[in-house]
Chain A
Amino acid sequence: MSAIDSSTPIRTARLRRSGTAQSNSLFALILVAPCLLLSVTVIGYPIFDVIRMSVFDVSRIGVVREFAGFGNFIKTFSDPVFVQACWQTLVWTVAVVGGTMLVSIPIALILNEEFYGRTIARTIVLLPWAISLAMTAVVWRYVVNGDFGTLNMTLSALGLPFDGYPWLADARMAFTLEILVGILVSVPFTVTILLGGLTSIPDTLYEASAMDGARALHSLRYITMPLLWPFMQIAIVLNVIYVFNSFPIIWIMTNGGPSNRTDILITYIYKQAFAFGKLGNAAAGSVIMFAMLLVFAVIYLYLTKARGARDDV
């Protein structure tokens, strides 16, 4: 309400000065002002609060005490577990996003072909999307349980020596399994984006190239891939943002253990805040994560904007 009230004098002043086009856009601005104000408050305030907490000494119950400058950041960077978590976040993000792309491209190509039962196949691929991430992680934790899990039951039934094999006891194995689950849950979203991209490639291009004697592999390499590339870029950037931030899989399956070897930044920050009561350090970690993600968000905006501009021409 107050936004409209306060802008009214400006509006009348401007109206007197300029024509209808300007007044129209001004009127539009007034209409979106309440929403804009709400967005800035809802999105901006938490960011402001986290940045504020990151440069203050904060008690475990959130009481902001004296100014700490970069103290929280220095403490965070000097924690070997933080540095370790940074590397693991890199491995986690690259492996999950890379794996997702490698799996999704062939799936999208197959699902783009006409075949009997394609709708069913598409539904099955999208199904993991419908289940909450936390539930998927819980299910997988049970599946890989050494003594009662269905994975070992199946492997032993096939005569393989996996009876009682503890999958989550070894950090490398546990991390690999988490990455595989991460890929599984990222595939539906990625396939959806790629399918959209594939549908937008006009059939005439393929027909023309076929007439010129191009084989299927050629048209895949010289037509499909280049035209799909912008969609792949968007899928990669969005996946990086989601996966980088993804908490439930790791938290539920291993809690970051054994020996912090499956901790990524987000689980590290959660522990700092809610298990150790170091809200200042957690805020500093969050700001660092925010800065990293901002880079990707900007890349995303740049990619979509470039595409938008090209479409306009």
Chain B
Amino acid sequence: MAKRLLGALIFGSAVAMAALQTTSTWAKDVVRVRVAEYSTKTGPFFQGLAEKFNAANPDIEVKVEHLPWPEMQQQLVSDISAGTAPDISHMATRWMAGFAKDGALAPIESLMSPGFADTFVPTYLDLQKQEGHTWGLPIAASARGMFYNKKLLEKAGITNPPKTWDEAFEAAKKIDALGDDIYGMGMQGKDLDTEGYWFYSLWTHGGAIIGPDGKSGFASPEAVAATRNYLRFIEAKATQPGVTGSSREDLQNLFAAGKLGIVLSGPWLNAQMAEQGKDIDYGISQIPISTASATYGVTDTISILETSKVKPQAMKFLEYIFSKENRLEFGKLEGFVPVLKSESTEPFFTDNPKMAVFLEMGPVAKFAPLFPRWEEMADGLKSELAKIYAGEATPEAGLQAAAEKMNALLAEK
């Protein structure tokens, strides 16, 4: 009798526990979040946020997965087409247009709490909007500036960091003359963001990616002048050798090793310098100008996917990420420009000489256009730029080819 009772008791409690287990998992809405890594700290940061969020919201369970940037695009494309996409995904803003057009993303304007949209710096949130919908939130924003090695400038007899391209050219020549393995100005000709490096010159020469006629501005007289500006550095050998073999990382590594006088880059270089270039005394100032002041602004986006079955819960987590304190912590960790109005006044950004210039340049920041076929247009430009930098094509002919490719892609839409 006692045995039977014990058996029943065990059975009963097992059933009860199983029931409890299933109800608790059933009751929880699982939100899968995928973030790309800016550094080794990105993944743990979002995992920490998810834990805090889960503790405060017992009915939601946020699961964070993190991937390296180079794998993001391919993984996202594969997952969406296989129907296994996460609920929330991080992406480059320039991919967003294509995903939104193909119906992979959910518009979030109706999911946001009232007043939430107003907490953002309008420039950055506006970039996430297309055809009347908001397709995501600006998870990271950066402007670019001119990094210069103070010691090399001083050795070359230059007192103030160059403000114009002509000054930069003279400075680069003098720095380059300092030694065989010291180079004047870094010039990018390979891989990610090669076109971005060219935009600095394009925009500061008054050029534009899209001309007033709505067609490509790659072959405009300003664009040719901008390209000639870079070519004179290359022809005078005032850059690192082998421009077409140098990626953004290559230039940053040279700068961190104290071999490069000037390089144009973004706030993330501060983080690299803190680790690898501790003994390098460097300053950051505005991108040299010719006719106009400008910089390249880039944002990354975090979106909710159309296939998500837990969109309101996903939005709740996004709003949690974009609270002032969480954003501030993220900004300090990764060194990005503030995207919330409340963040912009924080002393961390305004009083920090290594961050202030990126804030100052915010108002003159220009952005790459949000065309679904932009990646292909940029790739065509990149390919022609490599030919021009290598001396295999004239700026006119190369840029004309890039513009024609872009116009053909624009006409295809």
Could you list which residues of chain A lie within 8 angstroms of chain B, going by C-beta atoms? 59-63, 81, 145-148, 163-171, 174, 254-255, 257-260, 271, 273-279
Query: Is A257 a contact partner of B73 (Cβ separation < 8 A)?
Result: no
18 of the cross-chain contacts (CB-CB < 8 Å) are A59-B102, A61-B99, A62-B77, A145-B250, A146-B242, A146-B245, A147-B253, A147-B257, A166-B241, A166-B246, A168-B190, A169-B241, A169-B244, A257-B382, A258-B383, A276-B375, A276-B379, A279-B81
**Is the contact region of chain B dominated by helix, strand, or loop, or is it mixed?**
helix
The complex places the Cα of A81 from the Cα of B254 at a distance, in Å, of 32
Residues of A with C-beta under 8 A to B104: 61
Residues on B with beta carbons closer than 8 Å to the beta carbon of A276: 373, 375-376, 379
Main secondary structure of the interface of A (DSSP, over half): loop
* Residues B99 and A60 in contact, CB atoms below 8 Å apart: yes
Closest to A168 in B: B245
Nearest A residue to B75 via CB reads A274
User: Does the CB pair A260–B254 fall under 8 Å?
Assistant: no
Contacts of A164 in B (CB 8 A): 180-181, 240-241
Interface window among B263-271, B338-346, B384-392: B384-392
**Are A257 and B98 within 8 A (Cβ)?**
no
A163–B181 CA distance with the chains assembled, in angstroms: 8
Query: How far apart are B121's CB and chain A's nearest CB, in angstroms?
Result: 29
A122 vs chain B, min Cβ distance (A): 37
- B interface with A by C-beta (< 8 Å): 73-74, 77, 80-82, 98-99, 102-104, 180-181, 189-191, 240-246, 250, 253-254, 257, 259, 372-373, 375-376, 379, 382-384, 386-387, 390, 392
Which residues of the partner chain B approach A279 to less than 8 Å between Cβ atoms? 77, 81
CA distance A59 to B100 in the complex (A): 11
Bound-state Cα–Cα, A260 to B382, Å: 10
Interface centre among A59, A148, A163, A167 (most CB of B within 10 A): A59
Which residue on A lies nearest to B398, using beta carbons?
A: A259
Contact partner of B189 (CB less than 8 A), chosen from A146, A169, A271, is A169
Chain B residues with Cβ under 8 A from A63's Cβ? 81, 102-103
Tell me the bound Cα distance from A163 to B80 in angstroms: 47
A165 to chain B, nearest CB (A): 7
Q: Which residues of B contact A60 (CB under 8 A)?
A: 77, 98-99, 102, 372
Question: How far, in Å, is B379 (CB) from chain A's closest CB?
Answer: 7
Verify B379–A271 contact, CB threshold 8 A: yes
Asked, given contacts A147-B181, A164-B181, A260-B383, whether A61 binds B81 with beta carbons under 8 Å apart, the answer is yes
Instruction: Say whether, besides A62-B77, A146-B242, A274-B77, A163 and B180 are in contact (CB < 8 Å).
Output: yes
Chain B residues with CB under 8 A of A62: 77, 80-82
* Residues on the A chain within 8 Å of B383, using CB: 81, 257-260
B253 and A148 contacting across the interface, CB-CB below 8 Å: yes
**Inter-subunit contact B372/A277 (CB<8 Å):** yes
Q: Which residue of A lies closest to B74 (CB)?
A: A274
Q: Tell me, in angstroms, the Cα distance from A61 to B383 when the chains sit together.
A: 26
CB neighbours of A169 from chain B (8 A) = 189-190, 241-246, 390
Bound-complex Cα distance A254 to B259 (A): 23
Which 6 interchain pairs have the tightest Cβ spacing? A166-B242, A62-B81, A169-B245, A169-B242, A258-B386, A258-B244
Chain B residue nearest in CB terms to A75: B412
Q: Which residues of A contact B379 (CB under 8 A)?
A: 271, 275-276
Whose C-beta in chain B lies nearest to the C-beta of A53?
Answer: B81
Chain B residues within 8 Å of A163, by CB: 180-181
What distance in Å separates the Cβ of A58 from its nearest Cβ neighbour in chain B?
9
In whole Å, how far is A280's beta carbon from the nearest beta carbon of chain B? 12
Bound CA–CA A59/B99 (angstroms): 9
Complex Cα spacing A168 to B246, Å: 8
Say how far A142's CB is from chain B's closest CB, in angstroms.
11
Q: Is the CB of B241 within 8 A of A146?
A: yes
Report Cα–Cα, A148/B390, bound state, in Å.
22
Min CB–CB distance B368 → chain A (angstroms) = 15
Q: How far is the CB of B97 from chain A (nearest CB, A)?
A: 10
Given contacts A63-B102, A147-B259, contact A165 B191 (CB under 8 A): no
Known: A61-B77, A169-B243. A257 touches B191 (CB 8 A): yes
Cα–Cα, bound, A62→B79 (Å): 10
Establish whether residues A147 and B384, one from each chain, have CB atoms under 8 Å apart when the complex forms: no
Residues of B within 8 A of A59 (CB): 102-103
CB-CB under 8 A from B244, the residues of chain A are 166, 169-171, 257-259
**Which residues of A have CB within 8 Å of B103?**
59, 61, 63
| Distance to closest chain A CB from B70 (angstroms) | 10
Q: Which residues of A contact B243 (CB under 8 A)?
A: 169
Q: Is the CB of B390 within 8 A of A170?
A: yes
Most chain B C-beta atoms within 10 Å of own C-beta, residue among A166, A167, A259, A277: A259
| A258 & B189 in contact (Cβ 8 Å cutoff) | yes
Extra inter-chain contacts (20) besides given A258-B383, A259-B383, CB under 8 Å = A59-B102, A59-B103, A62-B77, A81-B383, A146-B241, A147-B253, A148-B253, A164-B241, A166-B241, A166-B244, A166-B245, A169-B390, A170-B390, A255-B190, A259-B384, A271-B379, A274-B73, A275-B375, A277-B98, A278-B376
Distance in angstroms between the alpha carbons of A100 and B59 in the assembled complex? 61
Cα A148 to Cα B181 with chains together (Å): 11
